Structure 1
Amino acid sequence: MEETYLLNVEGVKKKILHGGQGELPKPQDGSKFTFHFQTLKDDFERTVIDDSREAGMPMEIIVGKMFKLEIWETLLSSMRIGEVAEFWCDAIHTGMYALVSRGMRRIAEGRDPLEGQKHRCGMGNMFDYHSTGYEDLDELQRTPQPLIFIMELFRVEDPSAYKRDTWAMSKEEKLAAVPVLHSEGNRLVLRREFAQAAAKYQEAVICLRNLQAK
Structure 2
Amino acid sequence: MSSDMDGTMLLGVEGIKKTILYGGTAEMPRFITGTKVTFHFRTQLCDDDRTVIDDSKVTGVPMEVVIGNMFKLEIWETLLTSMRIGEVAEFWCDVTHTGLYPLVAKSLRRIAEGKDPVDWHIHSCGMANMFAYHTLGYDDLDQLQKEPQPLYFVLELVKVQQPSEYDRESWALNDEERLKAVPLLHGQGNKLYKLGRYQDATNKYKEAIVCIKNIQHKEKAWEAPWLKLEKMGNMLTLNYCQCLLRMEEYYEVIEHTSDIINQHPGEMKAFYVRGKAHIEVWNEAEARADFERVLDLDPGMKKAVKRDLGVLNMRMEEKNEEDKVKYKGMF
TM-score (norm 1): 0.81
User: Counterpart in 1 of 2:112?
Assistant: 108
RMSD over aligned Cα atoms: 3.3
Match of 1:82 in 2: 86
Are residue 67 (structure 1) and residue 68 (structure 2) matched? Answer: no
Number of residues paired by the alignment? 210
Deviation at 1:15, TM superposition (A): 0.6
Name which of 153, 171, 175 aligns with 1:171. 175
Q: Distance in 2 between matches of 1:55 and 1:21?
A: 26
2:118 and 2:67 mapped to 1: Cα distance?
21
Q: Could you tell me the percent identity over the aligned residues?
A: 55
Matched, 1:27 2:31: yes
Specify which structure has the bigger relative contact order, considering alpha-carbon pairs within 8 angstroms and separated by 6 or more residues. Answer: 1
Which one has a larger percent helix, Structure 1 or Structure 2? Answer: 2
Structure 2: segments with no counterpart, 5+ residues: 219-331
- Do 1:118 and 1:125's aligned partners in 2 also have CA atoms closer than 8 Å? no
Which 5+ residue runs of structure 1 have no aligned equivalent? none
CA distance in 1, matches of 2:175, 2:56: 28
**Separation of aligned partners in 2, 1:200 and 1:109:** 27
CA contact (8 A) 1:96 1:126 kept: no
Query: Structure 1's 137 and 3: CA in aligned 2 closer, same or farther, altered over 3 A?
Result: same
User: Deviation digits for residues 5-26 of structure 1, max 9, x if unmatched?
Assistant: 2442111001111100111123
**Aligned counterpart, 1:57:** 61
| Shift, 1:113, TM fit | 0.9
Q: In 2, Cα distance between the equivalents of 1:149 and 1:37? A: 7
Deviations 1:185-210 (A, max 9, x none): x95xx7586xx899778867866775
Cα distance between partner residues in 2 of 1:124 and 1:109: 26
**Distance of aligned partners of 1:20 and 1:137 in 2 relative to their CA distance in 1, 3 Å threshold:** same
Q: Does 2:10 correspond to 1:9?
A: no
Q: Deviations over 1:150-175 (max 9, x none)?
A: 01101211111111222212235446
Q: Distance in 1 between matches of 2:176 and 2:124?
A: 18
**Residue deviations 1:113-166 (CA, integer Å, cap 9, x gap):** 122466868x65632661111111111111111000001101211111111222
Find the aligned partners of 1:68 and 1:108 in 2 and give their Cα distance: 17
